[in-house]
Structure 1
C-alpha cells in the first residue's frame, strides 16, 4: 500500500446490543465491531464526524487502517461493511476485520487513466469509454495499492485496453480469470453516423445497379 497506513481511533464499548448502540449514537459516535484474527470480537465506537469525513474522502473499504483502541494492541483492520440509515444515508454501524500483513483479501481498486489527452485516438476526436472504473483484485493486506494506473496514450480509435495490458502491483491478481476489457477508444458520434450513412448509400447504389429481371413472354 502506497504511503503510511492511517490511524483509526476508537473506544471499546462496555455494553452490547441495541441499547448500547443507541447510547453510542447519542454521544456522537458510531458503534462497530472488530472481528477475525482468531480472537474474540471487540465492540467499539468511533467518532461520527471522523467516520463521516473518511467516508466522504472515498475508498474507505479499500483502505488498510491501523486501529488504535485504549487498552489494546494496535491492529491492522479493513472495513467489511458500513450500515447506513435508510432515510438519511448516514453511517449507523461499521464492521472491521483484523488482518495480518500477509493476509490475502479481495478488494475493488480504483483505476486511474493517464495519457488520454495525448492519445492519437483522442486527437482524432475519439472518446475514451471506461468500462471498469474499478478492478476487483486479490491483494496482500500489507501492500494494498491506492489505485491502478493505466496508460492510454497510445490508443487509436477502435483500440481496447484489457487486463492483460495492465501492469499490476507485485502479488496482486484479478479475481476474474478471463482477459476482460477495461476501456476502449470509440469513434466520435458524428463520424460513426457518417460511416453508417455511407454504408446505407453504398447499399442503395448497389441495389440500383442490379438489373431488373426480364419478364418472360407469354
Structure 2
C-alpha cells in the first residue's frame, strides 16, 4: 500500500488565470481540489512542499492528506502542470476521495530475476512493452508496484497482466489483457567480406596501359624480345 504524505495548503478565494498568475508571482503554486460530489476548492501551496514529491515519479499514485486551513482533506494528485520554458510547477489538481472510493491509477512495473531466465543468460533480449499499468483499486489501498518474475523465461515467451497475481480488491482498468514484456532472440550481425575485384571488373580508366617499350613505334623496329620468351611465328611467304 502506498504511504500517505501530508501537504499543507491555504484556501484562496479567487479563481481564474489572472488570480493564478498572481499566486505564482508570490512564489506559491496554485491548485484545486475537486470531486466527491462537492464544490471545487481553490488552494495554494508552497513550492518546496510539492516539488520533492513530484520528483519521485510516483506523485500521481500517492495519497495526500491536504491540510487546508486546519481541515484535512484526503486526496490524490490528478494532474501537474509545468512551465514549458523554466520547467517549474505551475498548477496541481487534486481529486478529493470519499469513504470507500475506488480509483484508477497508473502503477509502475518492475522486472526481477533476469539472471534466472535461461533465455536472457544465453543472450536473448528482454523487450519491456509496458512500464506502467492502469489498475482499479480502493483509494486507501494503492499498490506500490507490480513485480514481474522472469525466472525460467524462454525465448519467444511473453508475460501479460492476467498472469500476474494482483492484490485483493485490485483489478485491471483496461478491457484488454495488457502485454508487459516479451523475450526475443538477439539479432546476429551478418559479416560481409568484400572480395577483391577481378581484372575484368576494373574500369578501363583504371587499367594500366601497356609499356611503351613493348609496342613498336610507327616505322621503327620492334623492341627485342625478353630473354627466355618463345620465338615469334614466322611470317607467311608472299604469293607471286
The interval holding the TM-score normalised by the smaller chain is 0.7 to 0.9
Corresponding position of 1:15 = 14
Distance 1:71 1:106, change over 3 A: same
Structure 2 counterpart SS, 1:81: strand
Other structure's SS at 1:177 match: coil
Residue of structure 2 in register with 1:27 after alignment: 26
Q: Return the offset for 1:40.
A: 2.2
How far has the Cα of 1:136 moved from its partner? 0.9
Distance apart, 1:48 and its partner CA: 1.2
1:101–1:140 CA contact under 8 A, matched in 2? no
Describe how 1:114-153 pairs up with structure 2 within 5 A: 114-153=112-151
Residue 101 of structure 1: how far off its partner (Å): 4.6
2:180 is aligned with 1:167: no
How far apart in 1 are the matches of 2:26 and 2:59? 23
Tell me: CA distance 1:50–1:71, structure 2 relative to 1, closer, same or farther (3 Å). closer
Q: What SS does structure 1 have at the residue aligned with 2:39?
A: coil
SS at 1:15 equivalent:
coil
Q: Is the 8 A contact 1:100 1:142 kept in 2?
A: no
Match of 1:180 among 178, 181, 197: 178
Counterpart for residue 57 of structure 1? 56
- Does the aligned pair in 1 maintain the 2:8–2:49 contact within 8 Å? no
Q: CA RMSD in A?
A: 1.7
Show the counterpart of 1:39: 38
SS at match of 2:140: helix
Could you say which residue in structure 2 is the equivalent of 1:110? 108
Residues 126-172 of structure 1, C-alpha deviation per residue, up to 9 Å, x if partnerless? 11110001111111101011111111112111111111211112111
Is the helix fraction higher in 1 or 2? 1
Q: Which deviations, in whole Å up to 9, do the C-alpha atoms of 1:101-126 show, x marking residues without a partner?
A: 52111111100111112211111111
Q: Distance in 2 between matches of 1:168 and 1:101?
A: 22
1:86 Cα deviation after fit: 2.5
Q: How many residue pairs get matched? A: 190
User: What is residue 74 of structure 2 aligned with on the other side?
Assistant: 76
Q: Give 1:99's match in structure 2, choosing from 97, 100, 108.
A: 97
Runs of 4+ in 1 over 6 A off after TM superposition: none
